[in-house]
Amino acid sequence: MKIGLDLGSRYVKAVFMEDGRLADYRYYDTLAFYREYGRKVDGELVVDYERLGWPLGAPITSTGYGRNLVKLAGGQVIPELRAHTRGAVFQTGMSDFTLLDLGGQDSKVIKVAGGRMVDFRTNDKCAASSGRYLENMAAVLAMDVAALGECRDKPVELSSTCAVFGESELIGQIIEGHPVEHLAAGVNRTIVKRVEPMLRELYSPVIVFTGGVARSQAIRVMLEEALDVQVILPEHPQLNGAIGCTV
């Protein structure tokens, strides 16, 4: 049994791999995970595996947003880009593609050739192309994120490239009387516009889409239409980094 841990900004994802297959997985709210199951000792995060109900003595490897904040005591740490590359190769069985990972607070584009990362682009200084942006915009529109992810027709043009100013612009568009569904489509189109330059720089006819945002059907279709590519969603897009820690 191997444990892979992706310490994300919004969720901690844990996977349990046995004999090369995914035996189990779990999600935890990040703040609750640190508060309830971890404590910092000598600069390292000590996790209460017994309280979590995880197998004791199993080797554990971590990666993700949280790895920049704490080192997991007794565990191995691998770079986030490497973990996501490995996870995508394992999940798809492919060796040549461009990986797009849109997480809670950042976005990553990785060019993969021969099963290895050959180039990458990241945007971790702005939340405008992340899950947090979608959550905030869905709240302004009084929609849940799943419903927002189904809207792609007649997108209203939103010019702001800032997650904070984007909320003010969206409120202004609501006052103008635009249908909520068209505004939601505009929000999704904004995500695509933000990542499109990175995807064109590291172009591949096949994009593997991972991260929580990959659950948005509208964004997947908009990516295909904007870039004339095939977008592949692995079975566990949000677990990709954690899976990559175990393979």
Spell out the domain ranges in the chain. 2-77, 95-237
Q: Please give the structure tokens belonging to residue 159.
A: 């010019």
pLDDT at 232: 98
Residue ranges of the chain whose pLDDT lies below 70: 65-70, 124-129, 160-164
pLDDT at 127: 57
What is the reported pLDDT for 213? 93
Interval 141-187: pLDDT, tens = 999 999 999 999 999 998 765 666 777 888 889 998 999 999 999 99
Six-digit token pair at 246?
Answer: 């175990």
pLDDT tens profile 50-73? 999 999 889 999 998 654 556 787
Instruction: Indicate the fold that domain 2-77 takes in CATH.
Output: Nucleotidyltransferase; domain 5 (3.30.420)
Residue 123's alpha-carbon distances to 114, 127, 198, in angstroms, are 25, 8, 9
Q: CA 183, CA 174: separation in Å to the nearest integer? A: 8
The pTM of the full predicted model, rounded to 2 decimals, is 0.92
Pick the CATH number of 95-237 from 1.20.210.10, 2.30.42.10, 1.10.40.30, 3.30.420.40: 3.30.420.40
Residues 6+ apart with CB under 8 A from 19: none
pLDDT of residue 117: 98
Domain 2-77 matches domain 95-237 at the CATH topology level: yes
Nearest residue to 167 (alpha-carbon basis) of 135, 131, 213, 123: 135
